[in-house]
């Protein structure tokens, strides 16, 4: 037989309220959910869901800045722009 132990966590009161409502609709309570989440953490040997940074990384920021520069060059006439792939292909094959 396993020995039970208690844990205590601090969360935002509104988040707790919202989570309890969702869990109630699923027929669960917070204790059961936490136990399920911990079992999944153990079974997966890691966090059982994707954790991502919501901020763009350096490569994405560089690409966004490059696209803005290309757009400026197209508008100023210093670079050719195309409104479709077909238009671009016609331009390439006619050169």
pLDDT at 52: 81
pLDDT at 74: 92
Each residue's pLDDT, cut to its tens digit, for the chain (95 residues) gives 789 999 999 999 999 999 999 999 999 999 999 999 999 999 999 999 888 878 888 999 999 999 999 999 999 999 988 889 999 999 899 86
In a domain, 1, yes or no: no
Per the CB < 8 A criterion, the answer to whether 59 and 66 are in contact is no
In a domain, 19, yes or no: yes
> At how many degrees (to 10) do helices 30-44 and 13-25 cross?
90
**pTM given for the model:** 0.54
In a domain, 7, yes or no: no
In a domain, 66, yes or no: yes
In a domain, 38, yes or no: yes
The total number of structural domains that make up the chain: 2
Which of 11, 33, 7 lies closest to 22 in space, CA to CA? 33
In a domain, 40, yes or no: yes
Q: Residue 51: exposed, middle, or buried by beta-carbon count in 10 A (0-12, 13-18, 19+)? A: exposed
Domain that holds residue 85: 58-94
Specify whether 40 is located in the same domain as 63: no
């Amino acid at each position: 037989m396993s020995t039970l132990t208690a844990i205590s966590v601090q969360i935002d009161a509104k988040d707790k309220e919202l989570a309890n409502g969702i869990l109630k609709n699923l027929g669960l309570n917070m204790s059961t959910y936490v136990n399920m989440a911990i079992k999944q953490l153990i079974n997966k040997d890691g966090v059982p869901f994707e954790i991502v940074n919501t901020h763009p990384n350096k490569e994405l920021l560089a690409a966004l800045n490059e696209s803005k520069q290309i757009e400026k060059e197209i508008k100023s006439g210093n670079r050719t722009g195309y409104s479709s792939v077909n238009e671009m292909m016609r331009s390439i094959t006619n050169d």
